[in-house]
Amino acid sequence: MDPQMILAPLIPISAIVAFAAVRIARIRAGRPESVSADVTARVDQLERDYHDLHEQLAETQERLDFAERLLTKARDDRQIGS
């Protein structure tokens, strides 16, 4: 039996299966996933917590910068006075 005769039907069958797989993937990708209200509330709370922590970190960095400037100034004043 000729190998081309065996492989010939596999090409259209493979094309049909691939076409179906692509269609299914597109349908699934186009469907929005529904998110529960609980998940939405938790994400909103996490965003608020992140924002609060970000503000606290910025304030802490400002205080650290201020303390470093004071220490540097005090050290410079001691060196000038010596």
More confident residue, 9 or 22: 22
Half-sphere exposure of 30 (CA within 13 A, CB side): 6
Instruction: Check residue 52 and give its pLDDT.
Output: 93
DSSP state of 32: P
Res. 10: pLDDT tops 80: no
pLDDT in tens, 27-72: 888 776 777 888 889 999 999 999 999 999 999 999 999 999 999 9
pLDDT tier for residue 79 given thresholds of 50, 70 and 90 = confident
Instruction: Check residue 25 and give its pLDDT.
Output: 87
